């Protein structure tokens, strides 16, 4: 708890006392004792103040330069990116202790085009771009007449070389499906989608779903730093942690997302909380 300096106890110490009295400063007990015992003098205060000013100036210049360089680098590698940028900030207008300086401590990420993210994942799976475009293409994971037990064993043993979130689930081995499903790094989403589309009477409209995906229903975030390919920078579209669903997409395709326990919903909540937005949906 801070202690208010008694004017009578500081007047005897000249300039320091008058400054404290004029500013009405609240100091901790240790600092007050150091002043009273003359352990802190005008020279020490001036030195500390000058050092602080120099430090702040250097930090501001460095931050401004870094900001400009990052913007230029991002512009050079943005051919397959959108112009949407996410900057974490306190949007609730509530008190938050030690809110970071927007130019010093922030996370700058750019939205990766959905198509670019899918192409990157397809490459990791050994799929061609043509296979994603072809309506008649079939997933390479599908194994005709495989039993459920054999499919489970294959999932455990045969795909360890793939990124964890791109490894096929049992459903992908047992049911014929289009390879566009394979490049989505959401196991729950893939499993539900295949099951619902393989019914005698499909329960969802795949054309409508694909249209929503291409219209940024699912957003992939990647770093604005240059790295990797020009399409994805240093992003990781094969990792569910890089993705976020828009509110309207979550509401519309709740059955595919897997509810509040699905990986898409959980990761979307994380991104919202990072921006200071409310983490619970209102419906």
Residue 110's pLDDT is: 78
Which of 233, 237, 257, 235 is closest to 245 using CA atoms? 257
Q: Map residue 99 onto helix, strand or coil.
A: coil
Q: Map residue 6 onto helix, strand or coil.
A: coil
Dihedral sign computed on CA atoms, order 41, 43, 47, 53 = positive
Residue 141's pLDDT is: 97
Q: Map residue 81 onto helix, strand or coil.
A: strand
Indicate whether 11 pLDDT > 50. no
- Say which residues have a Cβ less than 8 Å from residue 102's Cβ, sequence separation at least 6: 87, 89
- Say which residues have a Cβ less than 8 Å from residue 190's Cβ, sequence separation at least 6: 168, 169, 171, 172, 181, 182, 184
Look up residue 33 and give its two tokens.
């004792």
Percent of the chain with pLDDT over 70: 60
When comparing pLDDT for 102 and 107, which is higher?
A: 107
Give residue-wise pLDDT tens across range 154-172: 999 999 999 999 999 999 9
Separation of alpha carbons 82 and 74, rounded Å = 11
Look up residue 42 and give its two tokens.
């005008």
Dihedral sign computed on CA atoms, order 158, 160, 161, 167 = positive
């Amino acid at each position: 708890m801070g202690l208010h300096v008694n004017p009578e106890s500081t007047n005897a110490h000249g300039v320091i006392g008058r400054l404290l009295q004029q500013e009405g400063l609240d100091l901790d007990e240790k600092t007050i004792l150091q002043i009273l015992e003359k352990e802190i003098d005008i020279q020490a205060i001036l030195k500390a103040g000058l050092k602080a000013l120099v430090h702040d100036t250097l930090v501001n210049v460095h931050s401004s330069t870094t900001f400009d360089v990052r913007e230029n680098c991002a512009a050079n590698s943005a051919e397959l990116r959108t112009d949407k940028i996410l900057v974490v900030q306190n949007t609730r207008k509530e008190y938050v202790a030690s809110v970071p300086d927007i130019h010093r401590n922030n996370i700058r990420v750019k939205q990766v085009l959905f198509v670019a993210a899918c192409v990157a994942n397809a490459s990791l799976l050994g799929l061609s771009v043509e296979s994603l475009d072809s309506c008649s293409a079939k997933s390479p994971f599908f194994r005709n007449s495989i039993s459920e037990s054999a499919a489970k064993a294959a999932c455990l043993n045969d795909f360890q070389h793939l990124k964890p979130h791109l490894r096929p689930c049992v459903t992908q081995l047992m049911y014929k499906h289009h390879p566009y499903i394979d490049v989505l790094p959401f196991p729950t989403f893939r499993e539900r989608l295949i099951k619902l589309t393989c019914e005698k009477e499909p329960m969802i409209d795949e054309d409508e779903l694909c249209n929503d995906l291409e219209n940024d229903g699912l957003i992939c975030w990647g770093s604005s730093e240059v790295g990797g390919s020009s399409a994805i920078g240093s992003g990781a579209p094969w990792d569910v942690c890089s993705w976020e669903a828009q509110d309207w997409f979550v509401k519309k395709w709740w059955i595919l997302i897997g509810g509040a326990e699905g990986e898409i919903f959980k990761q979307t909540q994380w991104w919202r909380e990072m921006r200071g937005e409310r983490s619970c949906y209102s419906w």
